[in-house]
């Protein structure tokens, strides 16, 4: 492998890894705040992709309008899912198992609803940007560079919200101690609702950016969900910064591994990393060891 090819794979890995990071951060945010493992998270990605497709392709809405509308729609969908399912299960007997079962059932329902509504064929959207850019000896499509830029902006915005705003402080306080947060007037149920919505929006951003490259069908959510689980296990379950780092790490290692082997090994490489981390450092590479 020449240095130019190695550098190209690093950049490609960071690009796809940034999307893994968005997916994983949504899972981590929900689990960190609510201790809910949302098995329907992949369907945020799938439905977000369909929203973009039908707005941009079927109805001819410009992409710069279709993407924000799809993100907002998926944000609302996330809040509805939390309110209509998870909300009624939390705090009851065996609620952690119940929420896993409920979100798994919801995932299957949404997949079949998408199948009946949209059909089984793959759908994609045209590239938002055409052309290539040269970075030294590496040539990259502008579409892929756009993915990285959008990911950086989204992750930066989320980091600012979590660290510098009242909403972010409320989310972090609720994640640390729900009862103590309630004492100082933070409404946990309201925070849970918004957190689920944010997770949905992050999935929609990833879908919107990847839709021109990876077509969407009713089963697109499951592979993405599995990638998200690998990311949060690598980074530390419930850790937002860990999910970002885990996503980028997974993307880079996959890209280099595929270059050295073949594309058939992509998933094997990711799951091998996950198993190794579970064995060596079960709280994640960037998580905190339980006391």
Residue 196: inside a domain, yes or no?
Answer: yes
Other Cβ atoms less than 10 A from the Cβ of 152: the count is 12
pLDDT tens-digit series, residues 95-116: 889 999 999 999 999 999 999 9
Assigned domain for 223 exists: yes
Alpha carbons 231 and 288: distance in angstroms, whole number: 16
CATH code of 202's domain: 1.10.3470
pLDDT at 180: 87
> Is position 286 within any domain?
no
Contact 134, 71 (CB under 8 A): no
Mean confidence (pLDDT) of the chain: 92
22 pLDDT band, cuts 50/70/90, is very high
Task: Evaluate whether 19 touches 151 at the Cβ level (below 8 Å).
Answer: yes
Cα torsion through 225, 140, 59, 151, rounded to 10: 50
Q: Please, which pLDDT band fits residue 91 given cuts at 50, 70 and 90?
A: confident
Nearest-angstrom CA–CA distance, 176 and 154:
24
Q: Tell whether 87 is covered by a domain.
A: yes
**Mean pLDDT (whole number) for 223-243:** 93
**289 within some domain:** no
DSSP 8-state assignment for residue 1: -
The answer as to whether 146 is a domain residue is yes
- Count of structural domains, the chain: 1
Residue 192 placed within a domain: yes
pLDDT reported for residue 291: 66
CA–CA distance, 37 with 136 (Å, rounded to integer): 43
* Residue 287 confidence (pLDDT) above 80: no
> Could you tell me if residue 260 is inside a domain?
yes
- Model confidence at 289: pLDDT above 70: yes
pLDDT at 139: 81
The predicted-structure confidence for 26-66, as pLDDT tens digits, reads as follows: 999 999 999 999 999 999 999 999 999 999 999 999 999 99
| pTM for the model | 0.93
What percent of the chain lies above the pLDDT cut of 70?
Answer: 99
Range of the domain at 226: 3-280
- What pLDDT is attached to residue 1? 67
Listed in sequence order, the DSSP H helices in the chain are 3-34, 41-53, 63-81, 87-89, 95-118, 142-164, 166-176, 178-183, 188-210, 221-235, 240-260, 266-280
pLDDT in tens, 153-201: 999 999 999 999 999 999 999 988 888 888 888 998 999 999 999 999 9
């Amino acid at each position: 492998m020449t240095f130019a090819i190695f550098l190209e794979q690093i950049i490609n890995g960071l690009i796809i890894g940034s999307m893994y990071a968005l997916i994983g951060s949504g899972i981590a945010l929900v689990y960190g705040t609510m201790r809910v493992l949302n098995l329907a998270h992949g369907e945020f990605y799938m439905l977000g992709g369909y929203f973009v497709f039908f707005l941009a392709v079927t109805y001819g809405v410009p992409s710069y309008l279709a993407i924000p509308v799809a993100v907002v729609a998926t944000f609302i969908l996330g809040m509805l899912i939390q309110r209509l399912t998870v909300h009624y299960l939390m705090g009851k007997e065996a609620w952690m198992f119940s929420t896993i079962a409920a979100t798994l059932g919801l995932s299957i329902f949404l997949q079949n609803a998408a199948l009946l509504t949209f059909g089984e064929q793959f759908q994609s959207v045209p590239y938002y940007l055409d052309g290539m850019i040269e970075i030294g000896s590496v040539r990259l499509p502008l579409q892929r560079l756009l993915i990285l830029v959008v990911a950086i902006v989204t992750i930066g915005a989320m980091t600012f919200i979590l660290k510098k705003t009242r909403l972010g402080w409320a989310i972090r306080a609720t994640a640390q101690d729900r009862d103590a947060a309630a004492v100082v007037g933070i409404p946990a149920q309201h925070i849970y609702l918004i957190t689920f919505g944010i997770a949905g929006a992050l999935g929609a951003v990833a879908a919107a950016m990847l839709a021109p490259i990876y077509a969407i069908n009713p089963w697109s959510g499951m592979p993405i969900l599995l990638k998200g689980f690998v990311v949060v296990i690598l980074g530390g379950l419930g850790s937002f910064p860990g999910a970002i780092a885990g996503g980028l790490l997974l993307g880079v290692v996959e890209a280099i591994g595929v270059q050295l082997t073949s594309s058939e090994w992509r998933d094997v490489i990711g799951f091998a990393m996950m198993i190794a981390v579970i064995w060596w450092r079960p709280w994640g590479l960037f998580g905190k060891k339980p006391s």
